[in-house]
Amino acid sequence: MNVSDVIARMTEQANLSLVIFTMGLLMCRIMPVLVLSPFLGGEVIPPEIKMGVGVMLSGVLFPAVSARMGALPTSAFPYIGLMLKEIFIGVALASIVNVVFEAARVAGNLVDTMSGSNNAQLYVPQLGTQVSIFASLKVQLSVVLFLTLNGHHLVIEALAESFSIVPLDRFPRFSMGEWAFFELIIRSFADLLKISLALAAPAMLAAFLTDMALGAVNRVAPQVQVFFISMAIKPLVGVVIIFLSLGLIMERMQTEFAAMLAMLRHAIRLLG
């Protein structure tokens, strides 16, 4: 069955206006997650491909979602309201998904600042911006690990589940109150700092101990140019510690990915 057959089947089951209405709302919720999530390629993936993936996912979800659709809006204002609601849900879910990746970037920046290598900048297409060396390493590591664990499948599965909890033609009911949902979003941003400190802890501790050792050397032998020595030693210590602690970092990332997915599903339940 080719694309034209699928479109013909969709138009047979529902009128054209319902198809356009439903597909538009599906795209409004799906596209923020596709565009804002680093694990889907960032700026590496052309917008045309992202749009195509969004249309494909919308087409896959259309049969299940259209069965729950009620009456069509009679004017543009209700439809615009539903579109804004879908965009809000998509952005909220995308912000939860991005917590671990942003924490990896912040952790890398902390390590580079402590080790004195933050002047070197690399462009990371997944984030669409320039970051320091260790920030680039940790972001790329988090993306590869997330894809290896099939985390993107679980995100898409949770996104599909959200359409059954919050149908397209209804607004969120906030089963436990609006504040419970927004508190979860705020807590996810608070967790970002906690995760970033945990990911950066080994290298930050090594940099601190290196500073203490160099300070002791400076007290014993003031004639030694400790500042210039530290510029060569601290980046090397940072590299060694990062690679020695990669196993611990990856284990912590796996734990945080599991917590992020649980938080994502909890946020979806709070919307219903």
Q: What digits encode the pLDDT tens for the residues 49-63? A: 888 888 888 888 888
Write down the pLDDT at residue 258.
93
More confident residue, 90 or 136: 90
pTM of the predicted model, to two decimals? 0.81
Would you say 103 and 196 are in contact if contact means Cβ atoms under 8 Å apart? yes
pLDDT higher than threshold 80 for residue 83: yes
Long-range CB contact pairs, 52-59, < 8 A, 24+: 54/27, 54/30, 55/23, 55/27, 57/26, 57/30, 57/156, 58/23, 58/26, 58/27, 58/30, 59/6, 59/10, 59/23
pLDDT higher than threshold 90 for residue 5: no
Write down the pLDDT at residue 62.
83
Write down the pLDDT at residue 190.
87
Write down the pLDDT at residue 4.
63
pLDDT tens sequence across 205-253 = 888 888 888 888 878 877 777 777 777 788 888 888 888 888 899 999 9
More confident residue, 121 or 151: 151
First to last CA, the chain: 36
Using DSSP, state whether 210 is helix, strand or coil: helix
Write down the pLDDT at residue 125.
60
Write down the pLDDT at residue 38.
80
pLDDT higher than threshold 70 for residue 124: no
pLDDT tens sequence across 86-120 = 999 999 999 999 999 989 888 888 888 887 766 66
Query: How far is CA 208 from each of CA 30, 84, 107, 237, rounded to the nearest angstrom?
Result: 44, 48, 15, 11
DSSP 221: -
Return mean pLDDT, the chain. 82
pLDDT tens sequence across 187-205 = 888 888 899 999 988 888 8
